[in-house]
Amino acid sequence: MRNISKLIMYMAVIGLITNSCSEGLDINDNPRNITQDQLEVDFQHVGSLYKPIFESIYQYAPAWSYQLQQNLNADVYSGYLTNPRPFIAGANNTTYNLVSGWNNFIWSVPYTNVMNNVDAIGKATETDFPTLYATSLILKVSAMHRVADVFGPIVYTNFGDLANAGVYDSQQAAYNAFFADLDIAVANLMANIDSPRFAAFDQSYGGNYTNWVKLANSLRLRLAIRISKADPAKAKLEGEKALAQSLGVMTANTDGFFVNSALDHPLATIDNSWGDIRMNASMESILVGYGDGRTGTYFENSVATGDIKGVRGGLPLLPGYSDELAQKADYINYSTIGPSLKTSTVQLMTTAEVYFLRAEAALRGWTGAGDAQANYEQGIMTSFDQHGASGAAAYIADNTSTPNDYVDTFNPANNITALSTVTIAWNGGDTNEVKLEKIITQKWIAMFPEGQEAWSEFRRTGYPKIFPVVSNQSGGTIDTAIQIRRIPFVDSELSTNAPGVAGAVSLLGGSDDGGTRLWWDTGGPNF
Amino acid sequence: MKHNLRTTLLFSFLFFAVQLFAQNKEIKGTVTSSEDGIPLPGVNVLVQGTTNGTQTNFDGDYVINASTGDVLVFSYLGLTTKSVTIGDASVINMQLAEDAEQLGEVLVTALGIKKTRKSLTYAAQDIKADEISRVKQTNPISSLSGKIAGVAISRSASGTGGSVKVTLRGNTSFGNNQPLYVVDGVPLLNGGSGQPGSTFGDIAGGNRDGGDALSLINPDDVESLTVLKGASASALYGSAGLNGVIVITTKRGRAGAFKADVSSNIIVEDAAYFLDFNGAAQNNIDDFLSSGVTNINSISLSGGTDKAQTYFSYSNTFGSGILPNNDFKQHTFNIRETAQFFDGVLTANASVMASTQKIKNRPVSGLYFNPLVGLYAFESDTDSFSNYRDFEELDPARNIQAQRWFRGTSDIEQNPYWIVNRNVSTDTNKKLLANLNLNFKVNEWLSLQTRGTYDQSLLNYDKEVHATTEATLAPSNGRYIVNEQDLTQLYGDLIANINYNIKDNINLTANVGVSTTKNTAEFFTADSGTNGNLQFANVFSFQNFEGNPQVSFNQTSLRNRTNSIFASATIGFNDNIFVDLTARNDWTSTLPDSNNSFFYPSVGVTGIISELTDLGDKVSYAKVRASYGEVGNGFATDAINPNRSILFGGGGINPQNPLQPFPGTIPRPERQRSFEIGTEWKFFDNRLGIDIGYYRTSTIDQYYNFPASASILGESSFGLNSGDIVNSGFEGIITGTPIRNDDFTWNSAINFAANKNEVRRIYDGQVVEGLIEPSFFVLSGKGVNTFGSYLVEGGSFGDIYAQVVRRDANGTPIVDGGALLQDDTDLVDGLTKVGNANPDFTLGWNNSFSYKNLTLDFLIDGKFGGETLSLTEAIVEGFSNNTARETANGTVNVVDLGGVGSTLTAQEYYGLAGGRNGFSGEYVYSATNVRLAEMALGYKFKLPENSFFTSVRASLVGSNLFFFYKDAPHDPNVALSTGNALQGVDVLGLPSTRSTGLNIKITF
């Protein structure tokens, strides 16, 4: 008996000791995730980081995040699109009741999905793989100039620097840094232009570095034109540098900067599935007024009116509707985005845009820009060609069509007469101002649906003439006629980086609201 | 450390193993009452210093194996405990006297260690089987509500089988605030499969309550629940005991007493506490909802000999909820064997508890997949709600049965009948808890105990979303979501129990032990996604998934281990002064080697004043107690150096860095320091008792996700040890027997608690390069909505922040540009503080009357102070004109920015204020409420002497019967989540129910 009890005790105690000590305290990871060692196979510790960058500059997924990152601000402010449902009983971004909870995404997505990965690529490649470093810099500039164009000052040069955590650059300093980064990128790529290093990770150009240099040059030209009023000397210097670079800027549609992904285009989800976005009245006024051959590609006919019909931007909860959904039930029937745009490809920069940039550069007398009219007309033809639209020649020659007056079939109180009488055909005798309106109006049409760049150029030049909001709920901070100039710094930033925001507001040179003009938006004459 | 543990274990084993010699013999006897000589059944007879014990049978007889020199201890609740040393005689009869002090009561404390109530140096309260099963709840913990001071119980809004949120002495932690549950001495694995966390709810199935382990335990198996509130009480649990401990003791067989209990309950529930809807809307709601019926049947058998005892139980629960197509089924089995071997030297105790639960359409809160959204928002002059009972019709274009609704569906709104029939979810949960406990009696003062537990929960969630569901939630061909969790805990310990009289008047009770706990968690989720899609409509299988990165398959495997060594000692002087010391050290795998060892001490002292000095006749008992303890909070697995996840279908790596410690900091577990004092008094022959305590706990070094600017390192939060949250408060219990005579007794107990929570610091000034001091911590972020909960220095846990309407000096709302403006003063994350979810003061009044065979019990539960926000009302008013005040033709005066007044109709005003992201500050109410929480009327049938039955009882029971006072449009005692998120806010939670039922219990 006692032997048995001893045996049981032995077994119990030994079992317990074995149990407690054989497997020690070294278990703390989730083996289903990928370790740094595992990532280094096939250089994925660098390569895998590009995918999130490509897919977050203009965020693919989740679609609602893109909706807040850009769709419910720049895509509406640009006059391209608008929401048929007056979110928050009409008190939202589109009526200048700026929703910080939404706008947080404009700020956070590029930092948490782009800058973190660019920084990690930089650490791994700056000395050992200079061409990969170069592509990361081009992508970084492509992502971050958009953020600066929304807020003004941003954290750019101090990102990842714990000693200067959260310290903003002025918009001018950020632009200078963009140009400097593009300098490094072009130099690194030119030194090894035939390297296939990037092919496995490139979602735009299949690893062709010549295209990347053209993109860098085109991006430099875009940024140079943007600062042409704020810092004309630097603008001319950088613009001419872009035009003079040996590989040049984008000239063929295949040079355009498009991101390819297996994910759905977020606009397809927002427009198709959710019915949360529709054509903007400004877009209807111009496209239909011009009888534009791209109209049928860009938009579908309204199921309510049978023709192309946009929704006025900045609608409040209108009288006669019990709630948001009732109002949406009407406007959801206006024109949806055309099917050809609902591919998995996101358009970030078109070759047509570059021709229009060169046209404006020519107006400004920059060396290497070429002829303004030739570039203008080439821009239109390139855009028609990109969308497979016909009738470009007649369109270019049209000197009578002007934007249409807008009619709202549900609520005639929203009717508004066209704001511009500018036509399409180039007239060498026009003033530079009229020429610029034509260039920017056509560039605006050609860049659709990339609302971010369209809104920036609207603010810089005042073109095209976009309808003002119906309801202005800014509490007096935004002038209805001048329209919104920027988005205020977001709540998440105010609460986690108060000293940084205080510095940024002083760099902004105005109050932190939607009415303050950015550095490149001087408010002065275009010429 | 491994080496040390092994050495300790081996040494202790060798030391004890030599002492295997003892003379055993059989002792018999009868225990009677000294007052009237009547035999006493159910008296505990224990060999002192061991767990070798038995109970007297119906005739007061007992048999026990013991050795000469052993001390037999006879105890019975309400009677004085007596002990006798075994000499040559083999028959020991004993008379027990009624105990004037009623202090023989034994409580089960940490690690299953039993202590006399009088020796406790901290507050502990327990509740017995009768009270748990009187008004039966499917989750036994729900029964604690209003019965224990300082315990806040919030029922879940997810209906039958839902989780329960328990908070002991206030919220202390940014992380977990739930107490540790201990079943028969062993920590219970209480991981649920998720808790609601946001206003919208998870787009993969809505804001769902994954349930908790407690809901899988048969309430009839519970013998008692003991609540150990302070750190000193729970210090022996180390890093798991931060939030207090609830000790559950389950039933076991008793020697000699063969007994069968059969009980059957039927409970009818009706939705009772609604928002003030207008008549038309309320008719629709009444049309949609129905009475819920829950039927709980249980049988238990127990009995045994003096060598082996058995307890077996089976229960089943079948229920239907108040929502259509919501069913609940549960079966529980429990078998427990206790046996004495080798003349009582070795006692083995083995139990297996198994349960299965299946819930169809467990109600969700929040906005996604919630049928209440469409139900509450339906409004039409030309159409009737009942017309949409036919929720689908043929869409000839697709040749598919498509959803029909009176208007286009939107992200949150669908036909409610469609949701309950075509967005069906099924929760299938299984739990297995196997326990082996060996107790080896070395000698009269020493015993050695080892326990092992295997605890597994399998939680499966399956949701089949049919094609033509709203596009925000599912693509064209529908959506299939599966979520599986396999959670396993292995626990083993070895404890030496010492009970030794150092001198005649000095007694030492001590425990020294080691334990190890290993947790493994396997998670699997598969979701064809909102964009990923299925190949063929309405076929719900993995092989029907499209292959693209918008489809998700995800596996997570987590393991952790905690090794511990612990010791406790209670030294009693003259049996009236007790000093209590505990110490524990944990080594955890979840922290880096350099920093993985943590020490938790506690000290306490208590003195029985009434025995130390003469307090006169009126005072029958008086005691003071004080204790101090330090405990920690466990640390999550894979939090130190996490790697990125991979996205299915070519999605690459996760774009974002995982949450990690702030660069340059080394994480450590948070710590809580707790101090408490208390005193207990009894007067007038124990007919009046008062127990009052004060406590103060300070929780420091919390490891929380502090929000950081994404512009620093591209991450919007990091882990950081910081902060100081202080809870202090009073709690007390007054018990009395105002009337006691032969036929009629009235027992009454009042318990009350007041807790003050203060967020002293959220950041403690540590200098870390790159760290910018945050001004608040987020408990529930506002996201794209307009309310949240934040911890701000000087504020309190549970503060509610909302978007508040800007008003002029007269308090008149300002309207500009056709919209209300926001009050933008003193903003935190863009919101204004409007209240706090926690009550200032709670009161429970429990009464029990008995008159002959009739008993009446009722419980009044009051919560005073605190606020609650009805986002339900905001949404209803933003989406429809269905509230009574919107259709009552009222008006609201407003002014414009220039001060010019005008009048809006109530419909217009609340249309502007409402909505899920509107002016939530307009929807804040006082959470103060007083309710008749429980009532039970029982009758014990008179049985003939030779009846087959021992007892037959029937009772009519009711719970949540009515509110004496309530301001809020919903029941503020219902929580959407048992986590920290969404406290004090109702986002379309299932309406609280009133339940009534019949309970029959037969013993034979």
Provide the shortest C-alpha distance from residue A473 to chain B (in Å): 5
Strands B151-156 and B974-975: parallel
- B9 CB neighbours in chain A (<8 A) are 13, 16-17, 20
Q: Is the pLDDT of residue B10 over 50?
A: no
Which among B438, B559, B637 has the least Cβ separation from residue A12? B438
Please name the residues in contact with A183: beta carbons below 8 A apart, sequence gap of 6 or more.
none
B195-199, B529-533, B632-636, B878-882: the lowest-pLDDT one: B195-199
For residue B8, the chain A residue with the least C-alpha distance is A17
Q: Is the separation of the CB atoms in B481 and B545 below 8 Å?
A: no
Per-residue pLDDT at B34: 65
| Backbone phi, psi, residue B13, to 5° | -65, -50
- B554 CB neighbours in chain A (<8 A) are 32
The pair of three-digit structure tokens given for residue B482, joined into one six-digit string: 């599966």
Contact B644 A33 (CB under 8 A): yes
Which among A34, A91, A100 has the least Cβ separation from residue B819? A91
Q: Is the separation of the CB atoms in A477 and A515 below 8 Å?
A: yes
Tell me how far CA of residue B984 lies from CA of A104, A315, B194, in angstroms.
25, 34, 19
Residue numbers of the domain that contains A368 = 45-508
Distance of alpha carbon B366 from alpha carbon B982, whole angstroms: 10
Provide the shortest C-alpha distance from residue A403 to chain B (in Å): 28
In-domain check, residue A373:
yes
Question: Average pLDDT, stretch B554-572?
Answer: 92
Distance of alpha carbon B382 from alpha carbon B367, whole angstroms: 26
Q: How many Cβ atoms from other residues are within 10 Å of residue A367's Cβ?
A: 11
User: Chain A 328-387, CB below 8 Å of chain B: which residues?
Assistant: 328-329, 332
Contact B593 A25 (CB under 8 A): yes
Give the domain ranges of chain B: 165-251+263-285+295-798+837-866+927-1003
Q: Is the separation of the CB atoms in B195 and B979 below 8 Å?
A: yes
Provide the shortest C-alpha distance from residue B20 to chain A (in Å): 7
Contact A101 B782 (CB under 8 A): yes
Distance of alpha carbon A241 from alpha carbon A182, whole angstroms: 11
User: Would you call B771 an interface residue with chain A, using a CB distance cutoff of 8 Å?
Assistant: yes
Q: How many Cβ atoms from other residues are within 10 Å of residue B679's Cβ?
A: 17
- B776 CB neighbours in chain A (<8 A) are 495
Number of DSSP helices (H) and strands (E) in chain A, helices first: 23, 4
Provide the shortest C-alpha distance from residue A109 to chain B (in Å): 9
Count of residues making up chain B: 1004
Tell me how far CA of residue A192 lies from CA of A136, A202, B850, in angstroms.
16, 16, 95
- B516 CB neighbours in chain A (<8 A) are 16, 19-20
Q: Is the separation of the CB atoms in A464 and A420 below 8 Å?
A: yes
Per-residue pLDDT at B722: 85
Where residue A122 sits, what CATH number does that domain have? 1.25.40.390
Contact A116 B379 (CB under 8 A): no
Q: Is the separation of the CB atoms in B945 and B882 below 8 Å?
A: no
**What is the percent of chain A where pLDDT is above 70?**
96
Please name the residues in contact with B381: beta carbons below 8 A apart, sequence gap of 6 or more.
none
* Residue at token pair 């069913």: B327
Per-residue pLDDT at A4: 52
Contact B645 A33 (CB under 8 A): yes
Per-residue pLDDT at B860: 94
Domain count, chain A: 1
What secondary structure does DSSP assign to B382-443, as a single string? S--GGGGSS-EEEETTTTEEEE--SS--BTTB--HHHHHHHEEEEEEEEEEEEEEEEEEEEE
**Greatest mean pLDDT among A44-53, B156-165, B201-210, B693-702:** A44-53
In-domain check, residue A4:
no
The dotted CATH code for B165-251+263-285+295-798+837-866+927-1003 is 2.40.170.20
pLDDT digits (tens, 9 = 90+) for B458-506: 999 999 999 999 988 999 999 999 999 999 999 999 999 888 888 888 8
pLDDT digits (tens, 9 = 90+) for A92-109: 999 999 998 899 999 999
Comparing CA positions, the residue from A262, A275, A408 lying closest to residue A346 is A262
Per-residue pLDDT at B35: 56
Contact A9 B448 (CB under 8 A): yes
In-domain check, residue A14:
no
Q: Is the pLDDT of residue A298 over 80?
A: yes
Q: Is the pLDDT of residue A311 over 50?
A: yes
- A491 CB neighbours in chain B (<8 A) are 829-830
| Backbone phi, psi, residue B134, to 5° | -60, -55
pTM: 0.87
| Backbone phi, psi, residue B778, to 5° | -95, 120
Distance of alpha carbon A10 from alpha carbon B408, whole angstroms: 72
B607 phi-psi bin (left φ>0, alpha ψ -120 to 50, beta other): beta
Largest CA distance in chain B: 102
User: Would you call B920 an interface residue with chain A, using a CB distance cutoff of 8 Å?
Assistant: no
Provide the shortest C-alpha distance from residue B782 to chain A (in Å): 7
Per-residue pLDDT at B242: 78
pLDDT digits (tens, 9 = 90+) for B333-391: 999 998 988 887 898 999 999 999 999 999 888 889 999 999 998 988 889 999 999 99
Q: Is the separation of the CB atoms in B181 and B641 below 8 Å?
A: no
In-domain check, residue A35:
no
Q: Reduce the DSSP state of residue B346 to 3 states and report it.
A: strand
Contact B709 A497 (CB under 8 A): yes
- A139 CB neighbours in chain B (<8 A) are none
What b/e readout covers B474-501, taking b as 16+ CB neighbours within 10 angstroms?
bbbbbbbbbbbbbbbbbbbbbbbbebee
Question: Average pLDDT, stretch B248-271?
Answer: 86
Q: Is the pLDDT of residue B36 over 70?
A: no
Q: Is the separation of the CB atoms in B184 and B460 below 8 Å?
A: no
**Greatest mean pLDDT among A183-187, B175-179, B385-389, B557-561:** A183-187
Contact A495 B490 (CB under 8 A): no
Please name the residues in contact with B260: beta carbons below 8 A apart, sequence gap of 6 or more.
B299, B300, B301, B302, B1003, B1004
Which among B563, B656, B657 has the least Cβ separation from residue A20? B563
For residue B533, the chain A residue with the least C-alpha distance is A264
What b/e readout covers B373-406, taking b as 16+ CB neighbours within 10 angstroms?
bbbbbbbeeeeebeebeebbeeeeeeebbbbbbb
Q: Reduce the DSSP state of residue B22 to 3 states and report it.
A: coil
A157-161, A217-221, A222-226, B436-440: the lowest-pLDDT one: B436-440
Please name the residues in contact with B741: beta carbons below 8 A apart, sequence gap of 6 or more.
none
Contact A88 B918 (CB under 8 A): yes
In-domain check, residue A404:
yes
Contact A68 B784 (CB under 8 A): yes
Provide the shortest C-alpha distance from residue A115 to chain B (in Å): 6
In-domain check, residue A321:
yes
- Strands (DSSP E) contained in B837-918 are 841-851, 854-864, 867-870, 891-895, 901-905
Distance of alpha carbon B54 from alpha carbon B755, whole angstroms: 42
* CA dihedral sign of residues B136, B352, B330, B940: negative
Contact A473 B640 (CB under 8 A): no
* CA dihedral sign of residues B394, B400, B404, B408: negative
* Residue at token pair 């040079």: A255
Average pLDDT, rounded, for chain B:
86
pLDDT digits (tens, 9 = 90+) for B906-943: 988 998 898 888 899 999 999 999 999 999 999 989 88
- B640 CB neighbours in chain A (<8 A) are 28
Please name the residues in contact with A512: beta carbons below 8 A apart, sequence gap of 6 or more.
A488, A489, A501, A505
Q: Reduce the DSSP state of residue A4 to 3 states and report it.
A: helix
| Backbone phi, psi, residue B118, to 5° | -70, -20
Distance of alpha carbon B860 from alpha carbon B848, whole angstroms: 12
Comparing CA positions, the residue from A330, A339, A273, A328 lying closest to residue A305 is A330
The pair of three-digit structure tokens given for residue B94, joined into one six-digit string: 């004993």
A355-364, A438-447, B189-198, B880-889: the lowest-pLDDT one: B189-198
Comparing CA positions, the residue from A320, A333, A352 lying closest to residue A255 is A352
Which among B714, B821, B917 has the least Cβ separation from residue A112? B714
Between chain A and chain B, how many beta carbons pairs sit less than 8 Å apart? 317
- Strands (DSSP E) contained in B684-802 are 688-707, 717-740, 744-761, 777-780, 787-791, 799-802
Contact A20 B492 (CB under 8 A): yes
User: Would you call B547 an interface residue with chain A, using a CB distance cutoff of 8 Å?
Assistant: no
- B770 CB neighbours in chain A (<8 A) are 162-163, 165
Per-residue pLDDT at A13: 55
In-domain check, residue A15:
no
User: Chain A 280-339, CB below 8 Å of chain B: which residues?
Assistant: 316-317, 322-326, 328-329, 332
Q: Reduce the DSSP state of residue B277 to 3 states and report it.
A: strand
Q: Reduce the DSSP state of residue B215 to 3 states and report it.
A: helix
Q: Is the pLDDT of residue B312 over 60?
A: yes
pLDDT digits (tens, 9 = 90+) for B61-105: 788 888 888 888 887 655 677 888 888 877 788 877 655 444 346
In-domain check, residue A290:
yes
| DSSP annotation of A43 | G
- B709 CB neighbours in chain A (<8 A) are 155, 165-166, 492-493, 496-497, 500
The pair of three-digit structure tokens given for residue A336, joined into one six-digit string: 């949806």
* Residue among A2, A20, A35 with most chain B CBs within 10 A, to mutate: A20
Comparing CA positions, the residue from B754, B735, B609, B637 lying closest to residue B693 is B754
Q: Reduce the DSSP state of residue B934 to 3 states and report it.
A: strand
Per-residue pLDDT at B8: 45
Per-residue pLDDT at B841: 93
* CA dihedral sign of residues A420, A424, A427, A428: positive
Provide the shortest C-alpha distance from residue B379 to chain A (in Å): 10
Q: Check whether the bond before B944 is cis (ω within 30° of 0).
A: no
Per-residue pLDDT at A132: 97
Strands B79-85 and B94-96: unpaired
Question: Which comes out higher in pLDDT, residue B28 or B715?
Answer: B715
Question: Which comes out higher in pLDDT, residue B576 or B109?
Answer: B576
Contact A500 B20 (CB under 8 A): no
Distance of alpha carbon B454 from alpha carbon A315, whole angstroms: 62
- A39 CB neighbours in chain B (<8 A) are 653
Half-sphere exposure of A103 (CA within 13 A, CB side): 25
**What is the percent of chain B where pLDDT is above 70?**
93
User: Would you call B895 an interface residue with chain A, using a CB distance cutoff of 8 Å?
Assistant: no
Q: How many Cβ atoms from other residues are within 10 Å of residue B781's Cβ?
A: 19
